[in-house]
């Protein structure tokens, strides 16, 4: 109790001091210190003294914190520029101190308790606090462990499987290491255990549903830290006794060119092991193939795609007898396939996945990271039992489509055949695991020839530098920075330096070399293809060339002339014709029917129209070009046996149109103006008479058409006959109209002068009524019953673009003069009345 009270007093004292200091710093920051330095030299000296003192105190505090955290001593801070240069180290150190302080406070106050996994009978499960991972734990500043390896890292030679023995093999090691040619053209090696994996048979218990074996409480067992070869051999003896083992790996790839397998977790039903794979003798872990390559022992992984490759690359270990719980979750259709989801589903355990991105090279391993690594495999065998039983329950082994357990085993077998392909790279084509081809293929950029050349040159320089220093390409220069430099094309070295991020220390130091490389690539790339042209050439090269010898196949017979067939039965109406006209005129089938081309139809119509509308004298004076064209059209018609027949589809039905009132000439308008109201009314009535006459002409033409339908020779009337008929009717109407006007003028002149307007109107009206009665009687005499079978078609009306005489169109502007429509009146204001100002 006393200790808590003393801690509270100390906390209040420190907090008040910090608050006071913070307020003073904020107050100083608000002042114009530069102005004070200029005005008062004594203030400048005092500020310099205080700055020196603050830098000395900060250096002492930072060095003390570095000693506590186990980091190296920081260089002295002499001025503000030194703070900027050492800013990253200062931030890392402060993050570490704050993390340790936060954890110590939580442990002291009881907020953070022992992070043990719960027993099976506990309902309240322990959960690790989820906090942000410090930068120092994500990318630790430490010596590279690969520098101490007994077999040094070689990033420049072709990779070859590093195993020296092949336990549980049916094919010898020498026969297994066979070179093959990959798709991009690189030489690689076959999988050493390919034959054994394909021929392996899984244990019978994999296909049988059994009671799940409950995991042991994590506090009743203790994980063994294996950091010696003797410990590896002891662990191997225990693993050989097990039927199933769970394996998981932790990897680091930021400070290594190919990556580092940093930790291996192995669990059985009774024991957990954490193996340090960064020891100098790490290559001797190959001895674990005695268990890993044994098909009788099931190796349980979750998401083993990269784990299989890392084991091959760094340790020479190969998995035979793999069971991947990821595939089981995928077959069952779980909403998530992650290991964290399976832990929550079957164990109700919340895994803190922030440590998945931690720097697993850190030694000694922090307690939180050790606990996270152990929990990944401690519960995995229990999850394997549960999920395998669900897959077996959902399977129907009598059918291959529903044999889900066999599908999981097959997909796991295929996964174990994955192999490491090396770190090959072709600088010109970008092919290879470390190349740029796939990146630009997925995210293409509009690079010109110069930009594309700069991009390739920077990529090559970065790859060479990363190989020589054994650093990742992202640490030397990120992919986004390479693309930005090629996109913006900096004009000078200073602009290039500004594009490189601060954490790319290696590229910052080599900015002069990069600038020289940039200039050379920019000049060379002016004559090179762009990125788009490069991919187009690649797509053309990927198309296989056609062989010179082809199988000769008889081509189908080709018809010289165009043919147009006609179906005997309509797909729309069936056997029922739309009208009697179609039933009587439609032929059953026209074999060899010749269909005129559009230009032949036009030429034939124009030639026939000229022959009809011209006089006999004009016929003799026909232009030679028209005659030659007519001969050409006739020659085309001779090739068809039924050339003389006219097409029914185009000229079969027509309607003679009544004469439309034409515009009056200037002379007629003057004469009409001189006439009085009586003559204007007579003209309007005469127009009505003309329309009636046009209707009679229509009826007469319909009657004539009905008579002509009696014979097959006069059944069809061409377009040129219709146009000639219209011309003649137009001339007759015009002559009749002129004659009527002359008669009216003569009647007007002969009328006595004392006769008034009413008498003239009455006489004109009587004359018009007599004419209308005579026309009506004549129409009744010539009236013919209407024949629906011979009426003009409605479905195909106006197929030739002709318009029949209809009712007179209403003109809304006929009585408004020649000014056209006028705009609307100005609308009244929305809020009329007087305005006023209201006061309180």
State whether residue 835 is helix, strand or coil: coil
CATH number for position 379? 3.30.420.10
pLDDT grade, residue 630 (50/70/90)? very low
Cα separation values, 604 from 177, 342, 636, 646, Å: 84, 85, 10, 11
Boundary-marking domain end, from 727, 746, 765 = 746
State whether residue 92 is helix, strand or coil: helix
Closest by CA position to 160, among listed 192, 198, 194, 197? 192
Considering its fold, how many domains does the chain have in total? 6
In a domain, 96, yes or no: yes
Dihedral in degrees, nearest 10, Cα atoms 388, 390, 393, 396: -70
Pair (349, 376) in one structural domain: yes
The mean pLDDT of 268-272, rounded to a whole number, is 95
Residue range 415-470, pLDDT digits in tens: 999 999 888 888 889 988 899 999 999 888 899 999 999 999 999 999 999 999 99
Q: SS3 for 408-443, per residue?
A: HHHHHHHHHCCCCCCCCCCCCCCCCCCCCHHHHHHC
Closest by CA position to 58, among listed 74, 47, 70? 74
In a domain, 190, yes or no: no
Q: Return d(Cα 471, Cα 457) in angstroms, integer.
A: 19
Q: Return d(Cα 543, Cα 534) in angstroms, integer.
A: 15
The mean pLDDT of 568-582, rounded to a whole number, is 58
Pair (41, 25) in one structural domain: no
What is the pLDDT at residue 447?
A: 94
- 322-324 and 187-189: which strand pairing? unpaired
Q: Please list the helix, strand and coil fractions of the chain in percent, rounded to the nearest 5, in that order.
A: 50, 5, 45
Dihedrals φ, ψ of 188, to 5°?
-135, 180
Pair (11, 67) in one structural domain: no
User: Residue written as tokens 């377009």?
Assistant: 719
In a domain, 399, yes or no: yes
Neighbouring residues of 225: CB distance < 8 A, sequence distance ≥ 6: 274, 276
What is the pLDDT at residue 617?
A: 41
Pair (468, 523) in one structural domain: yes
Q: What does DSSP assign to residue 31?
A: S
Between 251 and 706, the more confident residue is 251
Residue 132 has pLDDT above 80, yes or no: no
Closest by CA position to 654, among listed 729, 608, 723, 603? 723
Could you write out the DSSP letters of every residue in 202-270? --GGGGS--PPPPPPPTTTS-PEEE-SHHHHHHHHHHHTT-SEEEEEEEEE-SSSSS-EEEEEEEE-SS
Neighbouring residues of 637: CB distance < 8 A, sequence distance ≥ 6: 594, 596, 600, 604, 643
In a domain, 637, yes or no: yes
The answer to whether the beta carbons of residues 95 and 134 sit under 8 Å apart is: yes
Pair (233, 99) in one structural domain: no
Could you write out the DSSP letters of every residue in 126-175? ------PPPHHHHS-----GGGG-SS---SSSPP-------TT-SS-HHH
* Average pLDDT for the chain: 76
Q: What is the CA radius of gyration of the chain?
A: 51
Q: Return d(Cα 312, Cα 316) in angstroms, integer.
A: 4
Neighbouring residues of 822: CB distance < 8 A, sequence distance ≥ 6: 816
Q: What does DSSP assign to residue 652?
A: S
What is the pLDDT at residue 580?
A: 53
What is the pLDDT at residue 833?
A: 55
pLDDT grade, residue 832 (50/70/90)? low
pLDDT grade, residue 260 (50/70/90)? very high
Pair (613, 492) in one structural domain: no
Boundary-marking domain end, from 354, 386, 416 = 416
Pair (376, 468) in one structural domain: no
Residue range 672-724, pLDDT digits in tens: 444 444 444 444 444 444 444 444 434 444 444 444 444 444 444 455 566 77
In a domain, 75, yes or no: yes
Both tokens assigned to 534: 């490069």
Pair (287, 310) in one structural domain: yes
In a domain, 4, yes or no: yes
What is the pLDDT at residue 120?
A: 40
Pair (639, 699) in one structural domain: no
Dihedrals φ, ψ of 440, to 5°?
-75, -25
Pair (640, 688) in one structural domain: no
Boundary-marking domain end, from 746, 774, 799 = 746
Q: Return d(Cα 840, Cα 822) in angstroms, integer.
A: 49
In a domain, 761, yes or no: no
Closest by CA position to 184, among listed 539, 420, 463, 430? 430
Residue 758 has pLDDT above 50, yes or no: yes
Q: Which range is most confident: 170-184, 398-412, 627-641?
A: 398-412
The mean pLDDT of 631-636, rounded to a whole number, is 47
What is the pLDDT at residue 615?
A: 44
The mean pLDDT of 17-36, rounded to a whole number, is 77
Q: Which range is most confident: 561-565, 625-629, 814-818?
A: 814-818
Pair (325, 465) in one structural domain: no
Cα separation values, 53 from 47, 79, 633, Å: 10, 11, 110
Q: What percent of the chain clears pLDDT 70, i.e. is strictly above it?
A: 64
What is the pLDDT at residue 618?
A: 44
What is the pLDDT at residue 598?
A: 64
Closest by CA position to 532, among listed 453, 452, 458? 452
Residue range 478-511, pLDDT digits in tens: 999 999 999 999 999 999 999 999 999 999 999 9
In which domain, by residue range, is 224 found? Answer: 208-416
Q: Return d(Cα 804, Cα 656) in angstroms, integer.
A: 7
Q: Return d(Cα 59, Cα 77) in angstroms, integer.
A: 6
Q: Which range is most confident: 177-191, 213-227, 549-563, 789-803?
A: 213-227
What is the pLDDT at residue 1?
A: 45
Q: What percent of the chain clears pLDDT 90, i.e. is strictly above it?
A: 40
In a domain, 316, yes or no: yes
- First and final C-alpha spacing in the chain: 68
Please state whether the predicted TM-score (pTM) of the whole model is above 0.85.
Answer: no
- 322-324 and 298-301: which strand pairing? parallel
- 260-267 and 244-252: which strand pairing? antiparallel
Residue 760 has pLDDT above 70, yes or no: no
Residue 90 has pLDDT above 80, yes or no: yes
What is the pLDDT at residue 498?
A: 93
What is the pLDDT at residue 243?
A: 96
Pair (497, 457) in one structural domain: yes
Strand order in the sheet with 260-267: 224-226, 272-276, 260-267, 244-252, 298-301, 322-324
What is the pLDDT at residue 721?
A: 63
User: Residue written as tokens 């066979």?
Assistant: 178
- Quote the Cα angle for 381-383-389, to 5°: 105
The answer to whether the beta carbons of residues 684 and 691 sit under 8 Å apart is: no
The answer to whether the beta carbons of residues 233 and 130 sit under 8 Å apart is: no
């Amino acid at each position: 109790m006393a200790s808590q009270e003393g801690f509270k007093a100390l906390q209040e004292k420190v907090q008040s001091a910090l608050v006071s200091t913070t307020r003073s710093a904020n107050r100083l920051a608000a002042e114009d210190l530069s102005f004070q330095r200029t005005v008062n030299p004594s203030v400048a000296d005092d500020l310099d003294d205080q700055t020196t003192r603050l830098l000395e105190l900060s250096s002492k505090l930072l060095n003390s914190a570095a000693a506590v955290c186990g980091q190296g001593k920081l260089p002295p801070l002499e001025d503000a520029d030194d703070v900027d240069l050492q800013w990253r180290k200062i931030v890392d150190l402060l993050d570490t101190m704050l993390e340790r302080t936060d954890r110590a406070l939580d442990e002291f106050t009881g907020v953070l308790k022992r992070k043990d996994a719960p027993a099976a009978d506990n309902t309240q499960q322990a959960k690790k606090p989820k906090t942000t991972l410090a930068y120092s734990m994500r990318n630790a500043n430490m010596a590279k462990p690969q520098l101490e390896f007994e077999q040094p890292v070689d990033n420049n030679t072709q990779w070859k499987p590093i195993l020296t023995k092949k336990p549980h093999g049916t094919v010898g090691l020498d026969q297994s290491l066979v070179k093959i040619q990959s798709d991009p053209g690189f030489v690689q090696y076959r999988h050493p255990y390919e034959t054994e994996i394909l021929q392996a048979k899984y244990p019978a218990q994999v296909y049988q549903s059994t009671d799940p074996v409950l995991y042991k409480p994590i506090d009743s067992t203790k994980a063994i830290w294996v950091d010696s070869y003797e410990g590896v051999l002891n662990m191997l003896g225990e693993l050989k006794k097990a039927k199933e083992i769970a394996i998981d790996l932790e990897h680091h790839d930021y400070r290594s060119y190919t990556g580092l397998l940093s930790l291996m977790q192995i669990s059985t039903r009774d024991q957990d092991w954490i193996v340090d794979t960064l020891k100098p003798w790490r290559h001797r872990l190959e001895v674990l193939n005695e268990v890993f390559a044994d098909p009788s022992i099931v190796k349980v992984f979750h998401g083993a795609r990269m784990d299989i490759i890392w084991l091959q690359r760094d340790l020479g270990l190969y998995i035979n007898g793999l069971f991947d719980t990821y595939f089981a979750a995928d077959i069952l259709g779980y909403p998530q396939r992650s290991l964290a989801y399976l832990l929550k589903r079957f164990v109700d355990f919340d895994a803190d996945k922030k440590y998945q991105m931690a720097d697993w090279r850190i030694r000694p391993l922090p307690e939180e990271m050790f606990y996270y690594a152990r929990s990944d495999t401690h519960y995995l065998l229990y999850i394997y039992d549960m999920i395998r039983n669900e897959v077996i329950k959902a399977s129907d082994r009598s059918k291959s489509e529903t044999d889900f357990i066999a599908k999981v085993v097959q997909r796991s077998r295929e996964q174990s055949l994955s192999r490491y392909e090396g770190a090959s790279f072709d600088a010109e084509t970008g092919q290879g695991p470390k190349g740029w081809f796939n990146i630009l293929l997925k995210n293409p950029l509009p690079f010109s020839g110069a930009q594309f050349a700069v991009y390739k040159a920077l990529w090559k320089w970065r790859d060479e530098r990363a190989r020589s220093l054994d650093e990742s390409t992202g640490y030397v220069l990120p992919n986004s920075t390479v693309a930005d430099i090629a996109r913006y094309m900096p004009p000078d070295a200073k602009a290039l330096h500004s594009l490189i991020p601060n954490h790319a220390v290696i590229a910052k130091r080599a900015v002069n070399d990069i600038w020289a490389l940039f200039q050379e690539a920019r000049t060379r790339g002016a004559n090179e293809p762009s990125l788009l042209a490069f991919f187009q050439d690649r797509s053309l090269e990927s198309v296989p060339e056609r062989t010179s010898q082809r199988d000769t196949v008889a081509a189908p017979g080709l018809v010289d002339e165009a043919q147009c067939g006609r179906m005997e039965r309509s797909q729309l109406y069936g056997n029922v014709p739309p009208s009697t006209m179609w039933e009587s005129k439609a032929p059953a089938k026209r074999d060899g029917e010749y269909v005129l081309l559009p230009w032949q139809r036009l030429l034939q119509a124009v030639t026939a129209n000229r022959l009809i509308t011209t006089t006999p004298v004009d016929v003799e004076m026909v232009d030679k070009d028209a005659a030659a064209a007519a001969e050409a059209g006739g020659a085309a018609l001779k090739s068809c046996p039924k050339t003389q027949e006219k097409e029914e589809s185009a000229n079969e039905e027509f309607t003679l149109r009544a004469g439309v009132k034409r515009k009056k000439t200037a002379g007629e308008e003057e004469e009409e103006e001189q006439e009085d109201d009586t003559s204007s009314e007579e003209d309007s009535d005469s127009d009505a008479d003309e329309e009636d006459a046009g209707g009679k002409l229509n009826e007469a033409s319909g009657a004539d058409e009905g008579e002509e339908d009696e014979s097959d020779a006069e059944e069809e009337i061409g377009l040129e006959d219709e146009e000639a008929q219209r011309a003649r009717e137009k001339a007759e109407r015009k002559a009749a109209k002129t004659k009527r006007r002359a008669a009216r003028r003569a009647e007007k002149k002969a009328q006595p002068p004392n006769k008034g307007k009413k008498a003239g109107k009455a006489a004109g009206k009587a004359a018009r009524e007599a004419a209308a009665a005579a026309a009506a009687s004549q129409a009744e005499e010539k009236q013919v019953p209407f024949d629906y079978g011979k009426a003009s078609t409605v479905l195909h009306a106006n197929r030739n673009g002709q318009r029949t005489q209809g009712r007179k169109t209403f003109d809304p502007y006929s009585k408004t003069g020649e000014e056209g429509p006028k705009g609307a009146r100005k609308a009244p204001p929305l809020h009329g009345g007087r305005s006023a100002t209201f006061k309180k």
